[in-house]
């Protein structure tokens, strides 16, 4: 087995796909450039339901490591864990999260149940059959259960339902429009943060927190990172949703607490490789874990790369560490 050949394993992407899917091409180009700087040869293999073909191509390459960039299987994010599951079964070393951690965290409802069991604060979630828990006059945000990239999220995704039936109907509309499961989560008014975590000999290294600041949003526009804020470059939301690593001294205790919770998420959800933990901090200063993303965007301009740069870790060094962690 060659120690200097890397396979970029990825799902197929239609050139006419949504912007969040096309982002995969930029990820692959960034990773390939870094691997070349590190002296690795590389090739791409498409991961799909033709498992026999995938295995034949992997066997033919005899790669030293597989860089797992699979985000979906037949368009479903809920199935992305199958790529590392098969790699584990075949005894092939790969980067990023394990099959177990991807299975747990891709299903946001399951992940939130485990966070709650481990006493990690996360907003209550609601899906059809559980609406008896609705809090009167509370605001809720509706999200996709198994998909990332803020799919289906917009200003109308935040609502104050008068009864569970209203929220159930809204969820059904979202599911019909996008073809995936949705759920409702209690909306946390306040600040938004994310923390990148890198594996270091299996232990978590917590990088500097980033705050997502909603500039010029006013009181009427919801302060959320919706689909437009992530992907539509000409939109108000994209231009005015800004990442910052600069904080006043009085935020020190809060930032330390966010780091503690990110480390706890890493340990309790059995993460590996690299991950991003998203938080909201309520108006009383209490942090809440929104999501744990085990397969975050790793383009040059993404949040993971930005956090690494802030920590003095170049993009090439980041990729070198990811590969080393996979091979240890």
Rounded to the nearest integer, the mean pLDDT of the chain is 94
Look at the chain and count its residues.
328
Q: What is the 3-state secondary structure (H, E, C) of 247-281?
A: CCHHHHHHHHHHHHHHHHHHHHCCCCCEEEEEEEE
The C-alpha atoms of residue 296 and residue 149 are separated, in whole angstroms, by 9
Could you tell me the pLDDT band of residue 1, with boundaries at 50, 70 and 90? very low
Contact 301, 205 (CB under 8 A): no
The answer to whether residues 117 and 250 belong to one domain is: yes
Helix 108-117 × helix 99-106 angle, to 10°: 100
pLDDT at 74 (0 to 100)? 92
Alpha-carbon torsion angle 83, 84, 86, 89, nearest 10: 180
CATH number of the structural domain spanning residue 290: 3.30.470.20
- List phi, psi (to 5°) of 73: -135, 120
Domain boundary among 137, 156, 186: 186
The answer to whether residues 117 and 255 belong to one domain is: yes
The answer to whether residues 73 and 139 belong to one domain is: no
The answer to whether residues 226 and 179 belong to one domain is: no
The token duo for 273 is 């490789």
Per-residue pLDDT tens over the stretch 70-87: 999 998 999 999 999 999
| Structural domain for 49, as ranges | 5-95
The answer to whether residues 323 and 193 belong to one domain is: yes
The answer to whether residues 113 and 59 belong to one domain is: no
Number of domains within the chain: 3
The answer to whether residues 220 and 291 belong to one domain is: yes
CATH number of the structural domain spanning residue 50: 3.40.50.20
The strand ranges marked E within the chain are 5-10, 41-46, 65-68, 125-126, 140-144, 158-159, 182-186, 190-200, 203-206, 210-214, 241-244, 274-282, 287-293
The answer to whether residues 111 and 226 belong to one domain is: yes
The answer to whether residues 29 and 73 belong to one domain is: yes
The answer to whether residues 210 and 290 belong to one domain is: yes
Per-residue pLDDT tens over the stretch 38-69: 999 999 999 999 999 999 999 999 999 999 99
| Element holding 178 (H helix, E strand) | helix 164-178
The answer to whether residues 256 and 108 belong to one domain is: yes
Contact 273, 322 (CB under 8 A): yes
Domain boundary among 155, 186, 217: 186
Q: Minimal CA–CA distance to 292: which of 115, 102, 105, 97?
A: 105
The answer to whether residues 234 and 136 belong to one domain is: no
Domain boundary among 153, 168, 186: 186
Q: What's the predicted TM-score (pTM) here?
A: 0.94
């Amino acid at each position: 087995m060659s120690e200097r050949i890397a396979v970029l394993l990825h799902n197929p992407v239609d050139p006419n796909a949504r912007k969040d899917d096309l982002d995969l091409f930029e990820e692959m180009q960034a990773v390939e450039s870094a691997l070349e700087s590190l002296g690795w040869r590389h090739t791409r293999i498409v991961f799909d339901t033709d498992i026999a073909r995938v295995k034949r191509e992997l066997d033919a390459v005899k790669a030293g490591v597989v860089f797992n960039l699979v985000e979906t299987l037949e368009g479903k994010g809920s199935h992305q864990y199958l790529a590392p599951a098969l790699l584990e079964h075949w005894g092939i070393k790969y980067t990023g999260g394990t099959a177990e951690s991807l299975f747990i965290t891709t299903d946001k409802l399951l992940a939130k149940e485990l966070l709650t069991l481990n006493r990690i604060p996360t907003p209550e979630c609601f899906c059809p059959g559980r609406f008896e828990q609705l809090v009167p006059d509370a605001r809720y945000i509706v999200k996709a259960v198994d998909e990332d990239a803020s799919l289906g999220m917009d200003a109308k995704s935040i609502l104050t339902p008068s009864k569970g039936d209203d929220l159930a109907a809204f969820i059904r509309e979202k599911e019909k429009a996008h073809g995936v499961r949705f759920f409702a989560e209690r909306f946390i008014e306040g600040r938004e943060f994310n923390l990148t975590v890198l594996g270091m000999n299996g232990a978590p290294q917590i990088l500097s927190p980033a705050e997502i600041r909603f500039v010029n949003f006013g009181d009427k526009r919801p302060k959320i990172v919706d689909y437009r804020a992530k992907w539509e470059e000409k939109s108000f939301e994209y231009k005015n949703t800004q990442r910052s690593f600069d904080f006043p001294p009085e935020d020190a205790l809060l930032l330390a607490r966010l780091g503690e919770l990110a480390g706890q998420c890493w340990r309790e959800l059995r993460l590996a490789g690299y991950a991003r933990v998203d938080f909201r901090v309520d108006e009383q200063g209490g942090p809440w874990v929104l999501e744990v993303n085990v397969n975050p965007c790793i383009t040059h301009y993404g949040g993971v790369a930005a956090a690494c740069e802030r920590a003095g870790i170049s993009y090439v060094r980041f990729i070198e560490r990811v590969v080393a962690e996979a091979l240890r």
